[in-house]
Amino acid sequence: MAKLTFKTDNCKGCSLCIYACPKNLLSLDLETINKKGHHPAHIVEMDKCIGCASCAMMCPDCIIKVER
């Protein structure tokens, strides 16, 4: 099982990682606002992540770390 870690304070909420996920496991955390004033991305169901790292490769700010 893969583990995703997000640097949520640096996320600008662009949603590119959300569209890149082939399993549709990512979304914006609408209950949180980071220090930049954005809703950061987060993973909804970690146990279903396949560790493909498409989200991390798509992120322009390199906030996602994928561990397998």
pLDDT in tens, 28-50: 999 999 999 999 999 999 999 99
Rounded Cα distance between 50 and 56, Å, is 13
Largest Cα span, the chain: 32
For residue range 15-33, what is the model confidence (pLDDT) as tens digits? 999 999 999 999 999 999 9
Residue 1 has pLDDT above 90, yes or no: no
CATH number for the domain whose boundaries are 3-67: 3.30.70.20
pLDDT bucket at 14, cuts 50 / 70 / 90 = very high
What single string gives the DSSP state of each residue in 14-34? --HHHHH-TT--EEE-TT---
Q: Which two tokens stand for residue 65?
A: 């770390």
